[in-house]
Amino acid sequence: MTSTATDLSQTPTHSETSTDRDLITARHLINGEWLGAADTERINPARPGELAVLSPTGTAADVDAAISAATAAQPAWAALPAPARGAILMAAGDLLLSRQAAIAADLVREEGKTLAEAKGEVKRASDVLRFFGSLGWAATGEVLPSGLPDTTITTRREPLGVVGLITPWNFPIAIPAWKSAPALISGNAVVIKPAELTPLSATHLARALQDAGLPAGVFNVVHGKGRVVGDALARDPRIAGLSFTGSTKVGLGLQEILNARRARVQLEMGGKNGVLVLDDADARKAAKVVAAGAFGLTGQACTATSRVYVTPGIREEFLAALVEEAAAYTPGDGLGRDGSSPAAMGAVVSRQQFEQDQAAVRGAVERGATLLCGEYDGGTDAGYLFPAAVLTDLPFDDAAVTEEIFGPVVAVLEVPDYEAGLAAVNDSRYGLTAGICTDSLAFATDFAARAQAGVIKVNRPTAGLDLNVPFGGVKDSSTNTFREQGKSALDFFTWGKTVYTGV
């Protein structure tokens, strides 16, 4: 089934869905055409009776068609001067910003986060497109001296060709943008599989790129299940590289497939991010830092704070302040409709994730933990609203301390001193972000040097990163090869060539 951009605005019949939304039906985008029967419903996690989006279920044949389109379109796109490619990305960024309100509202409906967070994410996606678009005017090679007479050496960066992108639901427009933009400015064509739970946000990105003048076939979207669409992307020999953000288990499985055919692979996976709070810190400021990292974004970020180690002198004051901060993160409908105020924290993304959060807290309490605030036995009739939870009195090897929960849950444990706290932060199979709250420059400097994580935060929440800096982890959080974001992101999507020229 073929549809135009105008057709995308059609609203399906549903008793509890508003009919004045600009876009509600997501479709595949293959070779410039909107395709696929919208046979999958996505429900608003904050209002389980409300339809958020309809989307198609992609097949291996859809992936094949998308890769064929990308393969055909890529040479002409790579031949287009980089400033011209950049102009299209910058125009798409402008379009996203002009559509920010509508896109953010759709993002809230399908993912559950607050409107403020959604607006910030759309702004981030716009900024990412503009940042990488501006790099169309940047130099990408070097001129190097040669030991030979009358010889010039230059280096070039060449596009990989066609790349696959698999993106998660927690940042459903920002992550597709920060993977797509460096791929496109480098001259690659793209086939992206957005998360099943959030197809509409990626559709908004695709529509902005198309409306900005991106040639047909350069950017293709195939919705569907990871085991079908993602697997087909990974196995197709025409995909020269695949960038994935998601769980460690799935990522390592994809790595095996890509390595077997010697294709390039970039993985950003799980996190269990630790923060060390020392006696010399300001307890209230530290609590605000931890709460923002743990409960902001409903804790649904790979960089979220999930375990905290505190030294004895500040423990009681810090815990009291943290409980007070947690109480302010009241979950609710991110759009604040029916006369209610906008929620301080959004809904959990799905029933499955909601029940996973409940099970994690319930299990910790059954094993002897103290639940200082939060709950684990609430219903779902009013939405997947999970209060911020603070756990304490846990052993260091408890599952709530070692395993990723991906919800607004933080465990607080006591350590005797700085060295023990640093060792505890490093005692994890993950290494994405780590933080320290201290007024000591010596401790902060030492922590930055010795903490085993790709991103270190001093007196700042573990979640959140500027778009112009490298992002990635170590251990089971990443392949620890190519970094995302900033100019470093270009490295994954290009390969180097050295050219000798004699006269």
Q: Cβ neighbours of residue 48 under 8 Å, at least 6 residues apart?
A: 380, 381, 383, 384
| CB-based contact 37:185 (threshold 8 Å) | no
Residue 473 lies in a domain: no
Asked, for residue 472, whether it belongs to a domain, the answer is no
Question: What residue numbers bound the domain in which 19 lies?
Answer: 2-269+479-502
Tokens standing for residue 361: 């807290």
CATH number of the structural domain spanning residue 374: 3.40.309.10
243 in a structural domain: yes
Residue for token pair 């922590």: 447
Q: Which residues contact 393 (CB under 8 A, 6 or more apart)?
A: 368, 369, 370
Measured in residues, the chain has a length of 503
* Residue 396 located in a structural domain: yes
Q: Are residue 280 and residue 260 in the same domain, yes or no?
A: no
User: For residue 182, what are the contacts with CB-CB under 8 A and spacing of at least 6?
Assistant: 132, 489, 490, 492, 493
Asked if the structure places residue 432 within a domain, the reply is yes
pLDDT < 70 regions, the chain: 1-20, 338-340
- Catalytic positions are 302
Task: Say whether both 344 and 297 belong to one domain.
Answer: yes
Q: Are residues 95 and 187 in the same domain?
A: yes
Do 42 and 30 meet the contact criterion of CB atoms below 8 Å apart? no
Q: Are residues 53 and 173 in the same domain?
A: yes
Given this model, what pLDDT does residue 487 score?
94
Say whether both 172 and 312 belong to one domain: no
Tokens of 359: 């099970």
- Residue-wise pLDDT tens digits, 181-210: 999 999 999 999 999 999 999 999 999 999
CA angle, 183 then 349 then 245, to 5°: 25
The conformational region for residue 339 under phi > 0 = left, psi -120 to 50 = alpha, else beta, is left
Give tens-digit pLDDT for 274-329: 999 999 999 999 999 999 999 999 999 999 999 999 999 999 999 999 999 999 99
Distance (Å, rounded) from C-alpha 147 to C-alpha 88?
41
Query: Is the same domain home to 277 and 239?
Result: no
**163 lies in the same domain as 91:** yes
pTM to 2 decimals? 0.94
Return the pLDDT at 377: 86
CATH number of the domain encompassing residue 113:
3.40.605.10
Same-domain pairing of 237 and 336 = no
Amino acid identity at 470: P
The total number of structural domains in the chain stands at 2
d(CA 404, CA 113): 20
Host H or E run for residue 203? helix 199-211
Which tokens hold the place of 230?
């993602």
* DSSP-derived secondary structure for 477-501: TB-SSSPBSTTTHHHHTEEEEEEEE
Residue type, 362: R
Residue 234 lies in a domain: yes
Give one word for 299, left, alpha or beta, with left for phi > 0 and alpha for psi -120 to 50: left
Residue 313's nearest CA partner among 343, 283, 354 is: 283
The span from the CA of 313 to the CA of 422, in Å, is 17
**Torsion sign over Cα 374, 379, 382, 385:** positive
Helices and strands per DSSP (H, E), number in the chain: 15, 22
In angstroms, the CA 417 to CA 449 distance is 18
Residue 474 inside a domain? The answer is no
Question: Residue 407 and residue 360: Cα distance in Å, rounded?
Answer: 9
Predicted local confidence at residue 83, as pLDDT: 98
301 & 221 share domain: no
- Claim to verify: residue 256 and residue 376 sit in the same structural domain: no
- 378 shares a domain with 260: no
Same domain, 107 and 212: yes
